[in-house]
Amino acid sequence: MARSGCFPVVRRRRNMGVSRRKALKDLALGLALACWPGLARATGAGSGDPSAMDLAMQGQLLLAQGRGTEAVAALGKALSLEPESGWAWGLLGRAHILAGDPDQARTCFLMAVSLDPSDTYSQMMAEQVGRGSALPGLPGQDQLEDLEQQAQAERERFAMQGHAQDFVFRRVALDPGHGGFDPGAIGPTGLKEKDVALDIVRRTASLLERHAPGLDLLLTRHEDFFLPLSARTAAANQFGADLFVSLHVNAATRAGANGVETYFCSEQASSAGAERVARSENRALQYEDVQASPGLVSIEDILFRFERTRYWRAGAGAAAMAQARLVELLPGLENRGVHSANFVVLRKARMPAVLLETGFISHPREEARLRGTARRQEIAGAVAQAVVDMARQGVEP
Ligand SMILES: [Zn+2]
C-alpha cells in the first residue's frame, strides 16, 4: 500500500464515490446483458463464484479464441464485480469489436481511458472506432492484430514479475527532475525538461501499478512545483525507499549529442563529461536556502560518511542494471554508458540511488519526439522494466 503523509504518494486505487461506482457497475452489466441475456441468471453471487480477475482472464482467453459474444459476457460479469478495472474495460471494448458492436466498443474504450488516462491503447482504439460509424470503418483485421500484439507484448514483458514476493526491493521512490520555477534543460523550440520528466515518471508509475502491483511507489512530485534537491532524498529516506530513481533529460551544447546514460553518486566524477552533467543537475541549489556554516560538520554527517559509501557502491550495481535495460529497450538511443559524479540529489540517499538521463532535449529531432506521447510512453516502458529489474534482483548495499 502506498503511504500517505507529508509527501505526495501514488494512490493505488481511485477513491470513487458510491454512486459513480454503482453507475459503472450498472453500465458494465447493462452492456453485457444486451449481448447475452443468460447472464442475468449467472450473476447471482455465491461463495464458489469466480473472482473478477478469473472472469477477466476468461474473457481475455475467449477474446484470443475469437469468441466475441462469450468474451463480452465474461468481461461484463467481471466488471459488474470490479467496475474500476480499466484493463477489463479495454478488453470489453475489444470483445465488442469482435462481436460486431462498435458503438458499445467505443463506450468501453472511453471508460478504460477515463479510469486510466495513460492507457494509450484504449485511447487509440476509441479514436479509431469513433471515426468509423459502421464496421467497414473499423481498423482492418491485420491492423487490429498488430495493435493486439503490441498490447500483448507489453503484458508479456512484465508477466510474472509483478508480485510482492518477486521483489528484493519493495519500496521505490521515483523522482521527476526539476519543477516549478526550475525548468531544467530547455530544448531548441522551448520544450522543458521538468515537463517531460514529470510525464515520463507518471507513465512509469502507471505501468508499474498495473504490471508490478507488488511495488510500493513514492513520487517525490506529481505536479509542476519546485522541490529542493535535498527534499527529494529526504522524502525517499522518510518513505523508507529501497531504491531511488531520479529521472532527467540531458542537454549538450553540441546539437548532435543524443543517447541514454545512467549515473550513481561518487565523490569524484568519473569523467569530465560526468562532472559537467552533475554541475548542470546541481544548479537547482541556487534556488535553495542553503545555510553555509564553514568548519561546522554535524555528527550525523560524519557517521553518514561511512554509511553512504555502501549505498554508492550499490548504486553502481543498480546503475549498470538500469543502463543495460534502457539500452536494450530504447534501440534508437546511443549507449553512452554508466558514469558517476557528485549529484546533490543522490548524495544523502540512504539506499541505492541512480539518476537516468533518457535522451537529449537539446537534440532537435529528439526534442520533437519527446513532445509526442509515443516517445514518452516508450521511455516509460523501458524505465519501468529497469525498475522491475533492479527491484527483483536487488543490489547489496
Ligand atoms: Zn535534469
Q: What does each C-alpha distance from 209 to 13, 212, 215, 384 come to in angstroms?
A: 10, 6, 8, 10
Distance 185 CA to ligand 1 centre (A): 6
Distance 345 CA to ligand 1 centre (A): 10
Residue bearing cell 530513481: 245
CB 11 within 8 A of CB 2: yes
Report the DSSP beta bridge partners of residue 288. none
Contacts with 14 (C-beta within 8 Å, 6 or more apart), sequence order: 84, 115
Distance 176 CA to ligand 1 centre (A): 9
DSSP 164-231: GGG-S--EEEEEE--BTTB--SB-TT--BHHHHHHHHHHHHHHHHHHH-TTSEEEES-SSS----HHH
CB 211 within 8 A of CB 315: no
Distance 356 CA to ligand 1 centre (A): 9
Distance 182 CA to ligand 1 centre (A): 10
Q: How far is 22 from 16, CA to CA, in rounded Å?
A: 10
Task: For residue range 219-262, list pLDDT tens digits in order.
Answer: 999 999 999 998 999 999 999 999 999 999 999 988 889 999 99
Q: How far is 157 from 238, CA to CA, in rounded Å?
A: 31
For 116-148, b/e burial (b = at least 16 CB within 10 A) is bebbbbbbebbebbeeeeeeeebbeeeebeebe
Q: How far is 83 from 117, CA to CA, in rounded Å?
A: 16
Distance 223 CA to ligand 1 centre (A): 16
Q: How far is 63 from 65, CA to CA, in rounded Å?
A: 5
Report the DSSP beta bridge partners of residue 341. 265
Distance 280 CA to ligand 1 centre (A): 7
Look at residue 155 in the predicted model and tell me its pLDDT.
Answer: 52
Q: How far is 365 from 357, CA to CA, in rounded Å?
A: 17
Q: How far is 253 from 134, CA to CA, in rounded Å?
A: 52
Tell me the three cell numbers of residue 299. Answer: 555528527
Distance 222 CA to ligand 1 centre (A): 16
Residue 331: φ, ψ to 5°:
-65, -20
**Domain annotation for the chain: domains and CATH numbers:** 18-41+50-134 (1.25.40.10), 164-286+298-393 (3.40.630.40)
Look at residue 293 in the predicted model and tell me its pLDDT.
Answer: 55
Look at residue 83 in the predicted model and tell me its pLDDT.
Answer: 84
Distance 226 CA to ligand 1 centre (A): 13
DSSP-derived secondary structure letter, 9: B
Distance 327 CA to ligand 1 centre (A): 19
Distance 192 CA to ligand 1 centre (A): 10
Q: Tell me the residues surrounding ligand 1 (ion) with CB < 5 Å.
A: 177, 184, 248, 281
Half-sphere exposure of 61 (CA within 13 A, CB side): 7
CB 388 within 8 A of CB 158: yes
Distance 119 CA to ligand 1 centre (A): 26
Report the DSSP beta bridge partners of residue 358. 260
DSSP-derived secondary structure letter, 47: T
Distance 318 CA to ligand 1 centre (A): 19
pLDDT tens, per residue, the chain with 397 residues = 444 333 334 444 444 445 555 566 656 555 555 444 334 333 433 446 778 878 887 887 787 777 888 999 999 998 888 888 888 888 898 888 888 888 888 888 888 888 887 777 778 788 877 665 333 333 444 555 555 566 555 555 554 455 667 788 999 999 999 999 999 999 999 999 999 999 999 999 999 998 888 899 999 999 999 999 989 999 999 999 999 999 999 999 888 899 999 999 999 999 999 999 999 999 988 887 655 555 666 677 777 777 888 999 999 999 999 999 999 999 889 999 999 999 999 998 999 999 999 999 999 999 999 999 999 999 999 999 999 999 999 887 7
